[in-house]
A and B are shown apart, each in its own frame.
Chain A
Amino acid sequence: MLWRKAYRDLRAMGLRAVLIVVVIGAGPGTAAGIALAMHDVEATRDDFYSRYALAGLDLRLRRPLPAARLQRRAVEAGARRAAVRLILDGAALHGGSRTAAEVVGMPVGAQLNRLAITAGEGLDRGAPRGAAIDADYAARAGIGPGDRLRVQLAGRSLALRVRGLARSPEYLLATANPDYLVPQRGSLAVVFLPRGSLQRLTGLRGRADDLAVDLPGGGNGPAAKRLAAGLPTSRVTPRSRQYGRRLTEADIHSFTIFAPVMGLVFGIVGLLLIALSLRRLVSSQRRELGALLAIGYPPRTVVGSVMLLAAALALLGAALAIGATVGVGRLVANEYAGAVGFPVTRYPLAFGPLALAAGLAIVATLLAALLPAYRLARLDPIEALRGESVGAFALPAWLQQLTAVGPPALTYGLRGLLRRPLLSAATVVSIAGAVGLGAALNILVSSTDSSVDATFAGQGWTHSADLSRPLPDGRAAALARRAGAGRAEPTVKGPAELRTSGGGGVGAQLTGLPRRPALLRLDLIAGSGPAPGRIVLSAQTADELEAGPGDAVELRTSETEATVRVAGVARTLATEQAYLPRAGAARLLGLPGRATSVLVAGDAADARRLRADPAVARVTSKASALTAERELLDELTGLISILQAISLGVGALFLVSTLALSYLDRRGEFATLAALGYGRRQIGAAVAGEALTQTLLAAAVSVPLGILIASPLSQRISEAWFEIGLHAEAPSFLLVIVPALLLALLAAAHATRRALRLNIAATVRARLIG
């Protein structure tokens, strides 16, 4: 009997049941979908790393050494696999454009950092000028297999032929400017050649400057230290510090915060909607349920019929949640992939997110059913047989006055909100939750934009030229002046490891700044600027080290170690940065009086001349970096838009459903209004007044709520990318509130239309009004 009743109730609910199932499924599905997307990204990346053997450790040397010596070192250190390579910085020229290049001479059939050929053919010893090039650069430059490419390396110009397009685990996310953790796809031309060919073409026969190895104990163990000892390393990169891995780890870390936040908001919204719908169902079946109780059915059986219906809704919702998880997961994974250029290819159906989605849907539904079930269990059969009860309504005089505005229909609409204050408050909070979430996502995007703008706007440099090799400061400055730059500021940069006493090590780029930097300005958020023995850390690095102004930090480079104190913390676009006065930084990096790059203030022509200088490896323009950052942010905005659309959709569903339920509760009153001669305009005003007031209240609540939700999201993004200051501006809210108000009007129009289509004669005779 119970089964039949639950089934018929479900059918009788019709569209409402569909709406409930959608809300039950959408919330957990979205939350779990984000988790699944990040799982897909991680799985694809790890699968790629495994299939193409990303090295556990990579040592880059300052100067080439005999390849055989490096091979021996690897064997002595106990390396399971090794690849000795020659990697040179230069420039790639194609179709009149010049792009910073990294030319990798690698063993054909390398054991580590192997190439995945996506088009054409791989490397061949028999084709000494046949190169494989990074697929992102190829796409950006419009190069395909068979095309010619010219590469400039240390004064030599090499004519190459593209044999194929490739992806390498090492350059999975290749960028000309790894200082910024936001990749600029295709900005670095990674050109792969057989090692012997590159050695011959550059006159570096038998020599290599890079050693990629797989060591027992990983890239940070004692074997790694033994391997690096005595070698002139310019960069030591264990797998955990590898650029692409770091970026995806940071993104996965930051994006996963969306899952619990969205899950929580949608969970509350869904829970309320289900509770409201089931309450309505119990309310509309009071007579029927009262009759069951009166003829002797025990309350638990009657409650069981409601719980059975809830269980049926829960199961349908759970099935939808699983589907939504997979759908949202793929959508988000692909959107993310599109944004960062990470080819997601594996979509393993992880049990965790799917179970989470289904579990959340079921638990939320059953929880929501408890209150109506409890009320039903306490129902007095005699009272129930009288039919629906509408509670007594009264207002204090001041509230009566306050709501008696405009025509009676509007007063009626406004007071509809005060009829069940808790229900109205719950509705307002739920709509505010969905609107607040949408606003929080907008705040996140605009805050990121503003932070990028603010950080770039404070910089006096227009271009940054990385030198092919360290040069004396004077020569570096002269080089910039020769190119026509009005102002030039030589800087020195190199890798360093920072550690607080008792804490773990953090890798950072150490930059030496002049005493009064004119072009590179630090945006200090705490403390003061760099001074001898006093270092400035980027906000993320300070967070990671848990260090602030005044704290002591141990700083280690490949040359030496020193203890410095933290002078200040700066907001930077690049994560993991540390700044010291130039002399101190150069000494620690083993480059006294030398510069590794020059910051210049000049125009495009100056930049062209700088690029043409053989001493310059790459030139990054501030404008292009800003554009690239913005492009990336725009693409990520697409990802956020998906989440936003889902949150608005759920908000709209809620709004429509609560108005529909509210209409069902009061159709007797609407029929009375219609019988009195109230037409479309007046009834519409009553319904719209109520819906708009509800939405406006929700909009007001959504402002603090949006900021509250945006705060942990921006915190996580700050940890992953760069410090983001929260900018909660009116447009972030209006962009969500205005559609919400329009939706409220649409929902009100729908409810009005239903009210006007009522069979007035039949409805006014039914005892629907207390």
Chain B
Amino acid sequence: MAEPLVSLEGVGKSYGSGAARQRVLDDLSLQIGSGEMVIVHGPSGCGKTTLLNLVGGLDRPDSGRVRACGTELTHASRPELTAYRARSVGFIFQFYNLLPTLTALENVEAGVRVAGVGRDESRERGAALLRRVGLGELGGRFPAQLSGGEQQRVAIARALAKRPRLLLADEPTGNLDEETSGSVLELIRELNRETAATFVIVSHDPAIAETGDRVVELSRGRLVEGPAAASPASSA
């Protein structure tokens, strides 16, 4: 049996202290296989983003165990988490989070070079990915000179250019109109098929659920498996 790419075992996470302490994830266990496209769905405050943060190495659990891409994240040090993010994870944010003083191509390069890829190769990969997301001509533009949809495409290119094993997207269409949203989702789907990367997408938009291999439904910090539940890892 192949080892799952992402594995969470009995994970608990709380925020705040005293009476204001809020349990966001409660004894959550989940496994995601290589190449899967998993949609994490649920209402606001159910713990979707917290789950993504734990898998992305942006945060650590209070209890349980998180392992991803062969790295034990539960007790990893800050530099270990940084190295994990640099090598293995690509992020796509709701508000794109492009660096405004870097051009589209430089933004994509910034995502590659941190993984230790050389300047020339980074540029080649960046240019190729920008072409792939339909922005081959706009590499020299700064984020402020791009539309919201174009910025999100640059962010997708940036996330994929380092060839991560795991791509995490937090509400990637949350800031886009319906039409642009559709084209971005289509692009994500295509890229998931083209690359060997595992995609974990967090969204409260029911439309997105249709694009995934599997939907993981979260409620009050607990897992409720969704309709497209058949997957190699979960059935394993």
Q: A392-B144, A393-B142, A767-B95 are in contact. Are A679 and B86 (CB under 8 A)?
A: yes
Asked if B82 and A678 sit within 8 Å, CB to CB, the answer is yes
Q: 1/0 contact trace for A444-460 toward B, CB 8 Å?
A: 00000000000000000
Q: A668-B97, A764-B97 are in contact. Are A411 and B89 (CB under 8 A)?
A: no
Residues of B close to A672: CB separation below 8 A: 93, 97, 99
Specify the chain A residue showing the minimal Cβ separation from B86: A677
Q: Please measure, in the bound complex, the distance between the C-alpha atom of A769 and the C-alpha atom of B89, giving whole angstroms.
A: 21
Asked if A675 and B106 sit within 8 Å, CB to CB, the answer is no
Is B85 an interface position by the 8 A CB rule? yes
Asked if B114 and A390 sit within 8 Å, CB to CB, the answer is no
Q: 1/0 contact trace for B67-100 toward A, CB 8 Å?
A: 0000000000011001111110101011111111
Is A385 an interface position by the 8 A CB rule? no
Q: Please measure, in the bound complex, the distance between the C-alpha atom of A418 and the C-alpha atom of B59, giving whole angstroms.
A: 33
Q: A676-B85, A676-B86, A679-B79 are in contact. Are A393 and B91 (CB under 8 A)?
A: no
Residues of A close to B144: CB separation below 8 A: 391-394, 770
Specify the chain A residue showing the minimal Cβ separation from B98: A769
- Looking at A133-141, A168-176, A400-408, A621-629, the stretch in contact with chain B turns out to be A400-408
Q: 1/0 contact trace for A742-770 toward B, CB 8 Å?
A: 00000000000000100011001101011
Q: A418-B101, A669-B99, A770-B100 are in contact. Are A679 and B142 (CB under 8 A)?
A: no
Q: A411-B106, A416-B101, A672-B99 are in contact. Are A677 and B85 (CB under 8 A)?
A: yes
Contact of B86 among A678, A760, A770 (CB under 8 A): A678
Asked if B103 and A400 sit within 8 Å, CB to CB, the answer is yes
Residues of A close to B100: CB separation below 8 A: 390, 393, 419, 669, 769-770
Is B102 an interface position by the 8 A CB rule? yes
Asked if A677 and B78 sit within 8 Å, CB to CB, the answer is no
How far, in Å, is B80 (CB) from chain A's closest CB?
A: 10
Residues of B close to A760: CB separation below 8 A: 58
Is A415 an interface position by the 8 A CB rule? yes
Residues of B close to A605: CB separation below 8 A: none
Asked if B114 and A675 sit within 8 Å, CB to CB, the answer is no
Residues of A close to B172: CB separation below 8 A: none
Residues of B close to A677: CB separation below 8 A: 82-87, 89, 114-115
Asked if A676 and B91 sit within 8 Å, CB to CB, the answer is yes
Is B150 an interface position by the 8 A CB rule? no
How far, in Å, is A677 (CB) from chain B's closest CB?
A: 3
Residues of A close to B114: CB separation below 8 A: 408, 676-678, 682
Is A674 an interface position by the 8 A CB rule? yes
Is A395 an interface position by the 8 A CB rule? yes
Asked if B78 and A756 sit within 8 Å, CB to CB, the answer is yes
Q: Please measure, in the bound complex, the distance between the C-alpha atom of A304 and the C-alpha atom of B109, giving whole angstroms.
A: 47
State the majority secondary structure of interface residues on A: helix
Residues of A close to B97: CB separation below 8 A: 668-669, 672, 675, 764, 769
Residues of A close to B93: CB separation below 8 A: 672, 675, 764-765
Is A412 an interface position by the 8 A CB rule? yes
Asked if A408 and B109 sit within 8 Å, CB to CB, the answer is yes
Q: Please measure, in the bound complex, the distance between the C-alpha atom of A400 and the C-alpha atom of B109, giving whole angstroms.
A: 15
Q: Please measure, in the bound complex, the distance between the C-alpha atom of A761 and the C-alpha atom of B97, giving whole angstroms.
A: 12
Q: Please measure, in the bound complex, the distance between the C-alpha atom of A760 and the C-alpha atom of B81, giving whole angstroms.
A: 12
Residues of B close to A411: CB separation below 8 A: 101-102, 106
Asked if A679 and B83 sit within 8 Å, CB to CB, the answer is yes
Chain A interface residue number, banded: 35 or more
Residues of B close to A701: CB separation below 8 A: none
Q: Please measure, in the bound complex, the distance between the C-alpha atom of A624 and the C-alpha atom of B170, giving whole angstroms.
A: 79
Q: A418-B101, A677-B86, A770-B100 are in contact. Are A761 and B59 (CB under 8 A)?
A: yes
Asked if B56 and A675 sit within 8 Å, CB to CB, the answer is yes
Q: 1/0 contact trace for B168-187 toward A, CB 8 Å?
A: 00100000000000000000
Is A2 an interface position by the 8 A CB rule? no
Q: A392-B145, A394-B145 are in contact. Are A412 and B110 (CB under 8 A)?
A: yes
Residues of A close to B12: CB separation below 8 A: none
Specify the chain B residue showing the minimal Cβ separation from A416: B101
Q: Please measure, in the bound complex, the distance between the C-alpha atom of A400 and the C-alpha atom of B103, giving whole angstroms.
A: 9
Q: Please measure, in the bound complex, the distance between the C-alpha atom of A760 and the C-alpha atom of B99, giving whole angstroms.
A: 15
Is B220 an interface position by the 8 A CB rule? no
Residues of A close to B101: CB separation below 8 A: 393, 411-412, 415-416, 418-419
Is B53 an interface position by the 8 A CB rule? yes
Residues of B close to A770: CB separation below 8 A: 100, 143-144
Specify the chain A residue showing the minimal Cβ separation from B97: A672
Q: A412-B102, A415-B102, A418-B101 are in contact. Are A675 and B142 (CB under 8 A)?
A: no
Is A673 an interface position by the 8 A CB rule? yes
Residues of B close to A409: CB separation below 8 A: 110
Q: Please measure, in the bound complex, the distance between the C-alpha atom of A419 and the C-alpha atom of B142, giving whole angstroms.
A: 12
Asked if B110 and A394 sit within 8 Å, CB to CB, the answer is no
Is B61 an interface position by the 8 A CB rule? no
Asked if B99 and A761 sit within 8 Å, CB to CB, the answer is no
Asked if A676 and B111 sit within 8 Å, CB to CB, the answer is yes
Is B219 an interface position by the 8 A CB rule? no
Is B49 an interface position by the 8 A CB rule? yes
Asked if A761 and B103 sit within 8 Å, CB to CB, the answer is no
Q: Please measure, in the bound complex, the distance between the C-alpha atom of A321 and the C-alpha atom of B81, giving whole angstroms.
A: 48
Residues of A close to B170: CB separation below 8 A: 765
Residues of B close to A408: CB separation below 8 A: 102, 106, 109-110, 113-114
Residues of A close to B56: CB separation below 8 A: 675
Q: Please measure, in the bound complex, the distance between the C-alpha atom of A675 and the C-alpha atom of B97, giving whole angstroms.
A: 10
Chain A contact residues, CB within 8 Å of chain B: 390-395, 397, 400, 404, 407-409, 411-412, 415-416, 418-419, 668-669, 672-680, 682, 756, 760-761, 764-765, 767, 769-770
22 A-B contact pairs sorted by A residue (CB < 8 Å): A391-B144, A393-B144, A408-B102, A409-B110, A415-B102, A419-B100, A419-B101, A672-B97, A675-B93, A676-B86, A676-B114, A677-B83, A677-B84, A678-B86, A680-B79, A682-B114, A760-B58, A761-B53, A765-B49, A769-B95, A769-B100, A770-B144
Q: Which 8 A-B pairs have the closest CB atoms?
A: A677-B86, A392-B144, A415-B101, A408-B110, A677-B85, A761-B53, A761-B58, A679-B82
Q: Given A409-B110, A411-B102, A412-B101, 5 other A-B contacts at CB below 8 A?
A: A390-B100, A411-B101, A676-B85, A677-B114, A770-B144
